[in-house]
Amino acid sequence: MEQLPGPAGPIEFQRDRQGYPSIRAKSLLEGTFALGYLHALDRLTQVTFTALAARGELMSVLGDVPLARLIDRSARVLGLSQDVSSQVAACDSDSRALLTAYSEGFNRGAEVRGRPLALRMLGADSFVASPEGIFSIFRFITYFGLTSMQVSSELIVAELVARGAPTRVFERLLGQSALGLDLESLRNLQIPAEYSFFQEARFGSKQAGSNAFCVSAERSSSGGALLVGEFHMEVGRFPPLLYAAHLSLPDDEYLAGITIPGIAWFAAGRTRQVGWSYTFAHADNVDFLVERVEGGKYLAGSEWKAFRRREEVVSIRNKPSETWVFFENDYGTLLGDAEAPGERPCVRVSGLGETHRAFSAARRVLDCQNVEDLIEVQREVRSVSLEGILVDRAGAIASVVTGQIDQRPAGWTGAYPRRGWDLSERVPGLLGENLRPIAVSPASGQLVSANQGGHGPYRALWCTFPEPPYRFERISELISAREKHDLGSLFAISYDVFDASARRLLPIWAKLLPEHPLSKKLVAFASDQTDKQMLALFHTLHAETCFAMLEQDLSTEMARRFHEWSALALYQVQLDSVLALEQPTLLDEAGLRALLELAFPRAIERYRKQEQVPVRLRFKHMITQGRTPSFLGFDSRTIELPGSPVTAFQCRLSPISGQDLVYAPAFHLACDMSTDIVYYNLPGGASESRFGPGYGLGVEEWLAGSARALGDFTQPPLEISKR
């Protein structure tokens, strides 16, 4: 048993094979101090870079490289480091105490660690933790890492409006959400070059997803509610983005699960009484008004009102600093210059000023005794949009969508920009709390979340851009196939690689595909799904067919730009409805045949180059990035991920600013609430240092479907073979 120096004496902890700690603490404050200490000891470089990104200061260390500029611009537009002091002050006293304890522990651990070599080489100082700094990191993870998908999807639509795209484009991308779009009223909209998707793709989106699912005690062979959760995030780096931990507390209480280095709370996990995991819920809490501006003012009804001007000096390594100017009003932040006359978009992220509620709610999780308590805590999270899948010791299950969305003017769906100058006020009301998507103890005894926007009758009202339904449908189908599940059988569903999009679309396309030796093999794949090469061909053909459809109304260059960020996925729900011939006014059988004839030879050419699916990667050290000889052990072997962009084991290659990023399940977590065990796997160990605890371990277990118990070193691993 190791020890670390706590504020009231030594704190004991023990590491597992991958280096992740089980901490024995005399109180939650002491345990939070220890978690901060170990985060700094193991991940100081990682947290420092996350903090730089949250403050929009990556270019000060990395120089003027495209991805650093994109992140710095995005963080500063959203103002992720603005008002953090007032947010901390708005937290309840217990939450502030925990933030302080974590910060003190982190700074003590950083002192013991010393300034990492990578930071010394770059001339960067180590992150000094504070409650304000933790707030900035939390906002970066949740808003840039998640909410940016909403920002990007609506900003692309806004730029299509500005570029004069015809109505059919919006109907094909947005479906019913395009209702009310008045293109004539927006014909003077201007999108500044620094935010253009179709010029340089400078305002980016991370393509994250997630799965979380559970069954109640009645559907469990053990008599306890079962939970499986995973966040789909960027993978392929050592160390991983996340960090497993088990925190033992007095009176046999505990916190166990997955944490985010730099943040004091557990992102997914369990206590003795309750368990939880999340997916991004896509609640439509991002909107764009088009402001008519000149002279630093905007038109509101018949009155010109002044913007608040914000100037920020941006340091850039090896280049002169730049001064970025932002204009804000009570709605949001203008994208562009308010001095020159024109009409420009103003972005609003609802709930950004309510971040403190999430911190206060996280503290209250320890007091929750059942899913009803946990729902009330989740309802207090008014910032980021998540769907919580919840279980409790009594065997009950529930789900709830967090965040908040605005009450919009009549006739506006929020999926496209709207003129703002006919509105006299800029502060919208909130959609009623009675409309929040919630499900408690469903009769089916199962709940599934896969970024589809929640459960219940108000899901569609909250969620404008859900992810495709295929993961949700497939996971639901597999859970329903058994009357009762054990934890192994439920865990196995996370590794399912059946592609429900191929099953849906290929039978419709079968008689329309061109004559070719691969056509019959492709159609056969829809049902048997044994030839994984056909999986690659299907997804290549799907993308090429979407590009061909967009090219009917946009230039080839504009249509192909949707490859950046995997942007087609932002609109796939509606695009696939069109490609399934469910909306014949937008695409009929003859039109689909023509698209497939055009797309098929393009897809064959790309398929032969083995692009995109299956995704192959090596896990590389975050600093060396594969530039060191293999015998030094910084990187993993090359592996092939088993899934596709829409399978339960979801994986996607996403090009962002010249880099190909890979997104896949960043961990798997599973627990049976009739026991006190939580299982996890995570590709990469605790330490970011090559010879630190657990460095690089866990990739093979993660790939094969083996999970180890957190905090209990005597338990055998959980294997997917137990299905």
CATH value at residue 86 = 1.10.439.10
> Which of 721, 636, 719 shows the shortest CA–CA distance to 683?
636
CA distance 374 to 366: 10
Q: What is the DSSP letter of 140?
A: I
Taking CA atoms, 481 is separated from 72, 131, 434, 454, in Å, by 47, 47, 33, 22
The Cα-based distances of 400 to 369, 491, 679 in angstroms read 17, 22, 24
Residue 399 corresponds to which tokens in the numbers above?
A: 């789900």
**Which amino acid appears at position 662 of this protein?**
V
> Running DSSP on this structure, what letter comes out for residue 177?
G
Average pLDDT value for residue range 134-161: 91
Q: How many CB atoms lie within 10 A of CB 674?
A: 16
User: Is 66 contained in some domain?
Assistant: yes
Q: Which of 67-76, 106-115, 162-171, 310-319 has the lowest mean pLDDT?
A: 67-76
Please name the residues in contact with 332: beta carbons below 8 A apart, sequence gap of 6 or more. 289, 346, 347, 348, 349
Q: Is residue 624 assigned to a domain? A: no
What backbone phi and psi angles, to 5 degrees, belong to 146? -125, -60
Mean pLDDT of the chain: 94
Choosing from 584, 607, 630, the residue where a domain stops is 607
Query: Is 60 exceeded by the pLDDT of residue 722?
Result: no
Is residue 352 domain-resident? no
* pLDDT given for residue 199 in this prediction: 84
- Out of 547, 581, 607, a domain closes at 607
| pLDDT-above-70 percentage for the chain | 98
Inter-CA distances, 30 with 24, 73, 99, 270, 356, Å: 9, 37, 12, 19, 22
pLDDT score for 625: 85
Tokens 């899901």, located at residue: 459
User: 602 in a domain, yes or no?
Assistant: yes
Beta-carbon contacts of residue 555 (< 8 Å; ≥ 6 apart): none
Q: Within the chain, how many helices (H) and strands (E) appear? A: 21, 31
Residue 612 has pLDDT above 90, yes or no: no
The lowest-confidence range among 54-58, 197-201, 539-543, 601-605 is 197-201
Is 543 part of a structural domain of the chain? yes
**Residue 140 pLDDT more than 80?**
yes
Whether the Cβ atoms of residue 112 and residue 177 lie closer than 8 Å to each other: no
What pLDDT does 201 receive? Answer: 53
User: Which domain, by its residues, includes 584?
Assistant: 500-607
State the pLDDT confidence band at 16, using cuts at 50, 70 and 90. very high
How far apart (Å, rounded) are the C-alpha atoms in residues 422 and 17? 62
Query: What's the pLDDT band for 613 if we cut at 50, 70, 90?
Result: confident
For 266, half-sphere exposure in the C-beta direction (CA atoms, 13 angstrom radius) is 25
When pLDDT is averaged across residues 144-150 and rounded to a whole number, the result is 83
Are the C-beta atoms of 397 and 445 separated by less than 8 Å? yes
316-330 per-position pLDDT tens digit: 999 999 999 999 999
What does the block give as tokens for 576? Answer: 């696939």
Residues 6+ apart with CB under 8 A from 149: 205, 206, 207, 208, 280, 282, 465, 570
Characterize the bridge pairing of strands 9-15 and 2-6.
Answer: antiparallel
Give the residue from 558, 584, 607 where a domain finishes.
607
**Least confident among 59-68, 144-153, 559-568, 610-619:** 610-619
For 344, 492, 511, 723, the CA distances from 487, given in Å and listed in that order, are 52, 9, 42, 8
The confidence score (pLDDT) of residue 204 equals: 59
- Residues 6 or more apart in contact with residue 546 via CB below 8 angstroms: 562, 568, 575, 579
**Contact (CB, 8 A) for 418 and 426:** no
Question: Which residues 6+ apart lie within 8 Å of 159 measured at CB?
Answer: 191, 196, 197, 198
Strands 397-401 and 438-440, by their bridges, are: antiparallel
| pLDDT over 60 at 721, yes or no | no
Range 208-232 average pLDDT: 96
Give the model's pLDDT for residue 631. Answer: 82
Of 22-31, 103-112, 604-613, the range with the lowest mean pLDDT is 604-613
Residue 519: inside a domain, yes or no? yes
More confident residue, 446 or 461: 446
Q: Output the furthest CA–CA distance in the chain (Å, rounded).
A: 76
Instruction: Give buried/exposed letters for 189-214 (b at 16+ CB in 10 A, else e).
Output: bbbeebbbbbebbbbbbbbbbbbbbb
What's the pLDDT score for residue 653? 87
Percent of the chain with pLDDT over 90: 88
In a domain? residue 595: yes
Query: What is the arithmetic mean of pLDDT over 401-419?
Result: 95
- Give the DSSP letter string of 318-350: TEEEEEEEEEE-SS-EESS-SSSSEEEEEEEET
| Residue 445: burial class (beta carbons within 10 Å; 0-12, 13-18, 19+) | buried
User: What local confidence, expressed as pLDDT, does residue 659 receive?
Assistant: 76
Q: Give the closest residue to 53 by CA, choosing from 39, 36, 74.
A: 74
pLDDT-wise least confident of 218-222, 278-282, 345-349, 718-722:
718-722
* The total number of structural domains that make up the chain: 2
Evaluate if residue 588 carries a pLDDT over 50.
yes
Cα dihedral 709, 715, 721, 723 sign: negative
H-assigned helices in 79-220: 84-90, 93-113, 117-122, 131-139, 148-162, 167-174
Helix (H) / strand (E) element for 288: namely: strand 286-294
- Across the beta sheet with 254-259, what order do the strands follow? 2-6, 9-15, 21-24, 243-248, 254-259, 266-270, 274-280, 386-392, 397-401, 438-440
Judge contact between 497 and 648, C-beta under 8 A: yes
Which range is least confidently modeled, 39-53, 59-73, 96-110, 234-248?
A: 59-73
Which residue carries 């959609």 as its tokens?
A: 431
Instruction: Give me the torsion for CA of 709, 714, 718, 721, rounded to 10°.
Output: 170
Q: How confident is the model at residue 135 (pLDDT cuts 50, 70, 90)?
A: very high
The Cα-based distances of 616 to 403, 484, 528, 627, 644 in angstroms read 35, 35, 23, 18, 11
Distance (Å, whole) CA 223 – CA 646: 32
The closest of 269, 259, 355, 278 to 32, measured between CA atoms, is 259
Question: What is the pLDDT at residue 611?
Answer: 60
Res 572 pLDDT > 70: yes
**Which 3-state string (H, E, C) describes 6-28?**
EECEEEEEEECCCCCEEEECCCH
Judge whether 569 lies within some domain: yes
What's the start-to-end Cα distance of the chain, in Å? 35
Q: Quick one: pLDDT at residue 682? A: 98
Mean pLDDT for 191-207 is 76
Q: Which pLDDT band, with edges at 50, 70 and 90, does 629 fall under? A: confident
**Can you give the pLDDT at residue 598?**
98
- Provide the pLDDT for residue 720: 85
**pLDDT tens for each residue of 267-277:** 999 999 999 99
The residue-averaged pLDDT of 533-550 equals: 96
d(C-alpha 546, C-alpha 553), whole Å: 12
CA of 183: how far to CAs of 31, 166, 167, 179, 513, in Å? 56, 9, 8, 11, 35
Strand partners, 277: 389
